[in-house]
Amino acid sequence: MMKTKITLISAATLMSIVPLFALNNTAQAADNSVKKTVMHTAIAYDKDGNRTSQKYNAYSTVTVDSKPIAINDDQYYKILGKDQYLKTTNIDGVTRKITHNTYIYKSSSARTSYRGRWKLYRGETITTYGSSYKFKNGKSYFRVGGPRKQYIKSYNLGPVVNSDVESTSAVATVVRRAHVWTEIGPNKFENKLSDLKVGTKVLVDRLEYNRLSENSPQDEDTGMNFRYYHIKGTKNWISEEDVKVNKKVPFHNYNKEHYTYITFPKDTDVYNADGTIQDHNGQKISKQKGQLKVDKLVYIWVPSENKAELFYHLVGTSFYASTTPTAHWSTINVGHDAYVKASDVKFVYGVKLTPSNTAAEAQAAAQKNKLN
């Protein structure tokens, strides 16, 4: 059998851990509020996740409950004594990996330093706060520090790696023979280890909806696909249906944190990279409620309109057609370099993309190609 690490807990170790949990909980109960600095201008939400009219400016101080709570899969801090909740991303930030060597900026035309450095390199990680800003040059940037202005181009940053808001680990007890899945790549898993026996205890540090969840059965009570616990210090995962945990751990939705999804509220034309409409014998992508993945937001010059428009790049290549002259479910194949206008579709959830170029750059590229 392959000797892959699984974090197990002996009965003796568990006896020493449980009192520590109790001490921590007692301390929290005695004083469950902390002061936090808002790093990015934050809208307050109510307990149901609806926006309120209250806004908290960057670098203001707020008193919140020390432990964040989940509302609609997002993490929030509750303002002490108020029905107001602030997203943790505006306070603690999230971790992103730098994908291209990058400078730090204080404006669209001026650079600055960050912790004594003027340049950061691919492969490093950095904390960003809130959503991106669009500067005067039309490009988007994430705040990485303060109160001095410090920003990095969003183009040079990857999706969220993990949230900086993490609780301590939880003890998960196996209640039925549990499969162990090993992560062999980003969102890729194999069942390559022996099952865990009933009564086995493991340390878990997060709960996640991932590809395992998408292929798992649904819970009869909730109607939701099973989610999976990550075994701390390993690349291994176990289903939430197979264990009982002694406390909540952070919940993550892999798809929402790494991908971008749109839907088609109307029959939609498909475009090529040169701004021309694809010819599918009069058919378009049909109006639908399904959620389709996109991976890039870019300005493309549209010759027929004599202007640049924002487009999403489609990840899929086959879509339901708007008309079905020959079959009940006709499809059109759009190829691997197909785009739809951002104004024709609706963002559903996931990573909010920022344009990888400007309208002026798209126009200049089109004119250059025309001359060539």
- Residue ranges per structural domain of the chain: 31-90, 94-163, 170-257, 259-371
pTM of the model: 0.56
Task: Tell me how far apart the alpha carbons of residues 37 and 35 are, in angstroms, rounded to a whole number.
Answer: 7
Task: Tell me how far apart the alpha carbons of residues 216 and 228 are, in angstroms, rounded to a whole number.
Answer: 10
Q: Residue 362 phi/psi, 5° resolution?
A: -65, -40
State the DSSP string of 122-157.
Answer: TT-EEEEEEEEEE-TTS-EEEE-S-SS--EEEGGGE
The answer regarding whether domain 94-163 maps to CATH 3.40.50 reads no
- Residue 100 sits at the vertex; the CA angle it makes with 189 and 96, to the nearest 5 degrees, is 50
Tens of pLDDT along the chain (372 residues) come to 445 555 555 544 443 343 323 223 223 333 578 899 999 999 999 988 889 999 999 989 999 998 888 887 678 999 999 999 999 989 988 888 899 999 999 988 899 998 888 999 988 989 999 888 888 888 899 999 888 889 999 989 987 775 544 446 789 999 999 999 998 887 889 998 889 999 999 999 889 999 899 888 776 665 678 899 999 888 899 999 999 999 888 888 888 878 899 999 999 999 999 999 999 988 999 998 678 999 999 999 999 999 999 999 999 999 988 875 545 568 899 999 999 999 999 998 888 888 889 999 999 998 888 776
- Token pair of 130 as six digits: 């809130």
Q: Do residues 284 and 293 make contact, with C-beta atoms less than 8 angstroms apart? A: no
